[in-house]
Structure 1
Amino acid sequence: MKKIITLSMFSLGLQSCLTNDANPEINIIAPSAFVINGESTTISVIDLATNETRSTISLENSTIDNHNGAKNLDIQFPHHIYLSPDGSKLSIGVPGVDLSEGHLGNHESTGHILIIDAKNGNILSKTELPKPNHNAIFSPDGKEIWTTLMEHHGKTLIYDASTMALKNTILVGEEPAEVTFSANNKYAFVANGGSNTVSVLDILEKKVIKTIAVGEEPVGAWLGVDGRMYVDNELGQSISIIDVEKLEVIETVKLEFKPGYVAYNQLLNEMWVSNAGQSYVHYFVRENNTWKKKGSFQTGLDAHAIAFTKDWKIAYVTNQGNLSVSVIDVISHQKIKDVQVGQKPNGIVLKH
């Protein structure tokens, strides 16, 4: 039976008082997928062994007890989710606006960072930001949380993961969206949607070391385990591929559709790109040292984020317009089933 959990006690920083006595406990057993449902303000937990939603964590009616009495918190449109390196915690960016309608110009709301226990779904901390943020991600060593402020004069903020104290503020480009890390754990990549660039930050030195021009309105530089970062340019309808060693764009792939997400599959050496607003994922293969479209497969409406299992054989695709996650057989490029989740699912992370 599917469980719905309401998290009724919040913390603002780790020092606030947390109790969950009124809430039923859940035990989240790996392998599981955590899916952020932006409009429902929930997290769907999918059992990867059965590909069924086993529990739903509600964030909508959360409150905080900060020793001055409980008060309601306004949590709206959680967006992307990441797992800590040790697998014990989840980090969530909460921009406070519906980014499914576009990423630029959303300056009026405040953003938040939520840290959640990956074993029982309890919220460990909540940090308010002055502007919307696209995501919040653990540093490769798990000691920091990195996020961006989506404003004209963009910033990357770095927090201590234990105390959520602000450690660093780094100026980047205009309207920064996703911040991600390279596989060699040397660099952070910030996609600046308003300036059509990607800022490369040295993780240890906490500074911008290079700014790379990409296509129009980049949203994220997504990790490829092949030594590349794959940048989805929404308005440019293209993918800019960055070589991590050279820190330069080595190839631009024209799509003729708006990308929702791009992911590299190591098993088949394929690049997968979801078609935002449509019900397809397109896959590309290497021919004559360039990426060529090989085929497509159907998912659900407004296909978006893509996550692969650790053996690369199964993929999960969130469908923002279909209240579902499509389970895909990678080798055959066929849909196995759709798993029902909440409204406007976007971010997804797998815990094995």
Structure 2
Amino acid sequence: MLRISYGAFLLLAITLFSACRKHVMDDMPMEKNIDYPAAYVVNGEDATVSVIRLSDQTVSETLDLMTGSAEMVMWPHHIYHLQSLGEHRLTVAVPGMDLSEGHAGAMAGMKGKVLVLDAVKGTVIKDLEVPVMNHNAVYSPDGKEIWTSQMDMAGKVLVYDAATYTLKNTIAVGMEPAEVTFSADGTKVYVANGGDDNVSVISPATKAIIKTIDVGDNPVAAWVGYDGKMYVDNEDGKSVSVINVASDKVVQTIPLGFMPGSVAHNLTKKELWVTDPENGKVHYWTWDDAMQDWMHGGVLQAAAGAHAIGFTTDGNTAYVTNQMAQSVSVINVSNHTKIKDIIVGKKPNGIVLKQ
């Protein structure tokens, strides 16, 4: 008869427990200390976030978005930042499919995710599944809510409590809504309905639709302007619709001649930048005070698949993600020249700066 002493059994149990604990600890991402100005770049194919230290323009950290849940994180997309009460939070939408070639062909029945990260520690603090694939997720300016779209034929916007992550509101909008954005003053929410060629305007207080604005063909986002405007990139229409926030009317349509990747407004330089993914370029427009109009100012080289743009607070430096080049271009805004390309992960798309 085999006899095992109590001491041997206890030693075996401790050994197994220690091994299991080590395995769990090895799988857990180590906390970072990103307490410096940084750009966060979502690498769609890698399901990671590259952290670029702004002071030396190098990649200082790579954050793994795999959370250990049963569902894999596939093709994370756009990223937003909120600073509130001394804390920094990031939201990342996970549509689950590659959108680098455009937004047509969203698959019905696919679920999405919202990931919430601690921007300083670099850890995922919430993995929230949503019923339908989503394009982005954004905090309300007061930090109390998280808004995300549902890219379905029966389009919806979901509003979650940012503290409990419970669903507060479901708002019906147009077909296949993509980006959800707040105006600079936080008084209105804009939702680009790609399937209906219009933009829904929502009151963040009442959650009611204020107005529906017709724009160009297949709008992707109403990007925030800091001049009382919103700038809508119409992917198939190859144009930008300029919306006056006060009147919610289109006051100008800028023809592009190329499919836009995204739009970014630089208030300091009075410039409007639009990426040209197919040609790896960035076009910029300058504001003409006399004409009260945007005038094409020039074009600069980024890299293949130029997509999202992030400006530093002073407006002097731009960071452009290049989805097909696995890089971020750093650009001097004053002379419109490229400083360098920073290698990041595969298929970088969304970018946000913490300063």
- Scaled by the length of structure 2, what TM-score is found? 0.90
Kept after mapping to 1: 8 A contact 2:77/2:349:
yes
2:263–2:275 contact (8 Å) kept in structure 1 = yes
Moved over 6 A (4+): 18-21
Question: What's the counterpart of residue 15 of structure 2?
Answer: none
Show the 5 A alignment for 1:169-184.
169-184=170-185
Tell me how far 1:205 sits from its aligned partner: 0.5
Alignment of 1:59-78 (within 5 A): 59-60=65-66, 62-64=67-69, 72-78=70-76
Q: Does 1:340 align with 2:343?
A: yes
Could you say if the C-alpha distance between residues 133 and 262 of structure 1 is closer, same or farther in structure 2, counting changes exceeding 3 Å?
same
Distance 1:21 1:75 in 2: 16
Residues 65 and 124 of structure 2 are in contact (CA less than 8 Å); yes or no, is this contact kept in structure 1?
no
Aligned to 2:154: 153
Is residue 188–residue 204 contact of structure 2 (8 Å, CA) maintained in 1? yes
Determine the structure 2 residue equivalent to 1:263: 264
Question: SS of the residue aligned with 2:206?
Answer: coil
2:31 aligns with: 25
Q: Which residue of 2 aligns with 1:103?
A: 103
Contact 1:104-1:194 at 8 Å conserved across structures: no
Aligned to 1:85: 83
User: 2-side partners of 1:256 and 1:285: how far apart?
Assistant: 17
Cα deviation 1:116-156 (Å, max 9, x = unaligned): 11111111111111211000000010000000000001000
CA contact (8 A) 1:197 1:215 kept: yes
**Amino acid across the alignment from 1:33:** A
Residues 54 and 306 (structure 1), Cα distance of their counterparts in 2 relative to 1, 3 Å cut: same
Q: How does 1:123-272 map to 2 (within 5 A)?
A: 123-272=124-273
CA distance in 2, matches of 1:136, 1:19: 30
Q: Which residue of 2 aligns with 1:40?
A: 46
Shift of residue 266 of structure 1?
1.2
The aligned residue for residue 58 of structure 1 is 64
**Amino acid corresponding to residue 281 of structure 1 in structure 2:** V
Aligned equivalents of 1:140, 1:23: Cα separation in 2 = 29
Distance (whole Å) between structure 2 residues aligned to residue 347 and residue 203 of structure 1 = 24
Amino acid of the residue matched to residue 293 of structure 2?
Answer: T
| Deviation per residue, 1:155-192 (Å, 9 max, x gap) | 00000001110000000000000000001111000000
Distance verdict in 2 for CA 1:20–1:137, change over 3 Å: farther
Aligned AA (1:219): V
Quote how far apart the aligned CAs of 1:20 are: 8.1
Root mean square deviation of aligned Cα: 1.4
Task: Could you tell me which runs of 5 or more consecutive residues in structure 1 were left unpaired when the two chains were aligned.
Answer: 1-17, 65-71
Name the SS for the 1:44 alignment partner: strand
Q: Aligned equivalents of 1:253 and 1:20: distance in 2? A: 52
Shift of 1:22: 4.2
User: How many residues align structurally?
Assistant: 327
Q: What CA distance in whole angstroms lies between the structure 2 residues aligned with 1:196 and 1:22?
A: 44
SS at match of 1:99: coil
TM-score for the superposition, normalised by structure 1: 0.90
